[in-house]
Amino acid sequence: MSQKKNIIIFDTTLRDGEQSPGASLTIQEKVIIAKQLAKLGVDVIEAGFPIASDGDFEAVTRIAKEVKGPVICGLARTLKKDIDRAWDAVKHAKKPRIHTFIATSDVHLSAKLRKSKEEVKQMVAEAVAYAKSLCKDVEFSPEDAARTDIDYMVEIVRTAIAAGATTINIPDTVGYAEPAEFGRRIAYIFERLPEAKAVVISVHCHDDLGLAVANSLAGVMSGATQVECTINGIGERAGNCSLEEVVMNIRTRSDYFKECTTSINTREIYKTSRLVSNLTGLSVQRNKAIVGLNAFAHEAGIHQHGVITNKQTYEIMNPGDVGWAGDNLVIGKHSGKHAVEETLKEEGYDFTAEQLADIVQKVKDLADKQKTLHREDIMAIATDVIGALDSAEQLVVLDEIAVATGNRREPEATVTLIVGGKKKTGSGKGLGPVDAVNKAIQSVIGKGITLEEYNLKAITGGTDALANVGITVKDSAGVKYRAEAVDGDVIMASAYALVKGINRALAGKKGCGKDAPEEI
């Protein structure tokens, strides 16, 4: 029997994924996700872009120190200061990697970099050689490769390999390629460069035309042995190639991807998807392949009958293989700390003893109010507690809130906040009670911070469902901050989320990956 080749799964959830509009993660949240990615069995974790912000540097450093198993990679432009910063963060890992990149398409060269092809080639040679002097594992990406003149791309790849790159990544940065075309581009590298066989050729596709997974798999069919992807396909604009879809294609269609396999423990997929969705606040669409709530639901009677008779009639994958437990764990007022702790550990959460005590207290408070809590509720509460600001960051504290609403009156709210140790009360009227609360808070805070986006989601259950509110506020400089809160009461969850967002804006705290430098 021929030996299958391992397709390297390079996860960039914490770097490209975190660049999703609306996502931002704290350092602790990034570490939690990285630990779960290691359990999932990814080969490489791209932990961040260390030059982008101090928060991102710290997150990459902590992941390099604490997460065992995968290669830990940091992104850097082809600049010495970026490469130094990336190395300073990843050098603590047992298996560190520096990933350096520069754009090579005509439009990027002329409109963004304002550099000639020769100048860029020179930068690639110098940057890769410099990275190699620090780290033996160096990846190079010609950004916007899919729109780069193919012979110039080959020339750049040749230069990077000659300078010491061990992985060459071919990005379709703007999701422009078509599968057969992208596959040919990868095949062309092998045709033109015999030395390409001695390095790893990787693919990195974006989903602007919905083809990121198809293009990545076309790359694999042409000889690429690394796929760059994210959990739930999150990422810039329409997102990146979805990890779970690529992995389950290779596994489910092993008859087609004959020579290929991955080292992913697919039973961890669903759990990882939920964790990333909870911590980033980016929901997974119900009908998303592999991890959507409906992915294994059979609604039509004829399908249900078929599946009962023989699962293979309408099921090409076993739900258990991606970790669908279908469990209905319920936590009530008699469940103890241990049950909560075990549930969270199973779900990949990591917390301090104080955070656990806080989570358990909140679970008990809700259970005392006769709420039956499900796994999703516990995770939402944990996400809320882990994302809580410490007392030094709480410049504004919610003290009291009163709301009056009804069908014959205009909704009205009165809110007392503690600002700088002093109680301040304000009131407001609105279209609904949440709008009134927002106006009341604004009347105390002033016009400098405005609400940009508001999302409300019920976690589980009926009218006693936990409300999860996600908001985005904008400060006077136009910088956006995201915050989330959960509570059994929609109005309270909204008020907590608003106050958390205002505190983040006042502290200028954006999460750790968002200040990526715009230009080289």
Q: Give me the residues that bind Zn ion (CB under 5 A), please.
A: 16
For residue 255, give the amino acid letter.
D
Give, in order, the Cα–Cα distances in Å from 79 to each of 51, 86, 155, 337, 506: 10, 11, 20, 50, 33
- Min separation Cβ 143 and ligand KIV, Å: 4
Binding ligand KIV by CB under 6 A: which of 11, 43, 143, 412?
A: 143
Which range touches ligand KIV (CB under 6 A), out of 147-155, 165-173, 376-384, 433-441? 165-173
Q: Which residue is nearest to Zn ion (CB)?
A: 16
Nearest to 481, CA basis, from 455, 507, 459:
507
Site for ligand KIV in 243-272 (CB under 6 A): none
Give, in order, the Cα–Cα distances in Å from 206 to each of 13, 25, 214, 430: 13, 21, 11, 41
For residue 141, the partner it binds in ligand KIV, Zn ion, none, with Cβ less than 5 to 8 A by kind, is ligand KIV
For residue 101, the partner it binds in ligand KIV, Zn ion, none, with Cβ less than 5 to 8 A by kind, is ligand KIV
**CA distance linking residue 374 with residue 253, whole number of Å:** 35
Query: Where would I find the H helices in 96-149?
Result: 106-107, 117-134
Which range touches ligand KIV (CB under 6 A), out of 168-176, 210-218, 429-437, 505-513? 168-176
Binding string, residues 265-304; x marks residues near ligand KIV by CB under 6 A: ----------------------------------------
Encoded tokens for 383: 């996400």
Residue 204 as a binder of ligand KIV (CB under 6 A): the answer is yes
Residue 351 as a binder of ligand KIV (CB under 6 A): the answer is no
Which range touches ligand KIV (CB under 6 A), out of 167-175, 193-201, 245-253, 275-283? 167-175
Residue 171 as a binder of ligand KIV (CB under 6 A): the answer is yes
For residue 272, the partner it binds in ligand KIV, Zn ion, none, with Cβ less than 5 to 8 A by kind, is none
For residue 182, the partner it binds in ligand KIV, Zn ion, none, with Cβ less than 5 to 8 A by kind, is none
Containing 18, the helix (H) or strand (E) segment is none
Q: How many residues bind ligand KIV (CB under 6 A)?
A: 9
- Min separation Cβ 319 and ligand KIV, Å: 32
How many residues are listed for the chain in this entry?
520
Write the secondary structure of 279-302 as one string of H (helix), E (strand) and C (coil).
Answer: HHCCCCCCCCCCCCCCCCCCCCHH
Binding ligand KIV by CB under 6 A: which of 11, 14, 16, 59?
A: 16
Containing 91, the helix (H) or strand (E) segment is none
Which range touches ligand KIV (CB under 6 A), out of 22-30, 127-135, 169-177, 356-364? 169-177
Residue 412 as a binder of ligand KIV (CB under 6 A): the answer is no
Give, in order, the Cα–Cα distances in Å from 371 to each of 97, 363, 380: 48, 9, 14
Evaluate whether 281 touches 17 at the Cβ level (below 8 Å): no
Binding ligand KIV by CB under 6 A: which of 13, 104, 166, 173?
A: 173
Pairing of strands 167-172, 138-143: parallel
- Min separation Cβ 386 and Zn ion, Å: 27
Coil, helix or strand for 201?
strand
Binding ligand KIV by CB under 6 A: which of 57, 87, 101, 182?
A: 101
Beta bridge partners of 242: 230
Give, in order, the Cα–Cα distances in Å from 37 to each of 14, 31, 280, 323, 504: 10, 10, 15, 14, 28
For residue 315, give the amino acid letter.
E
Determine if residue 133 is left, alpha or beta; phi over 0 gives left, psi from -120 to 50 gives alpha, anything else beta.
Answer: alpha
- Min separation Cβ 472 and ligand KIV, Å: 23
Residue 18 as a binder of ligand KIV (CB under 6 A): the answer is no
Helices (runs of H) and strands (runs of E) counted in the chain: 16, 18
Residue 11 as a binder of ligand KIV (CB under 6 A): the answer is no
Binding residues (CB under 6 A) for ligand KIV: these are 16, 101, 141, 143, 169, 171, 173, 204, 206
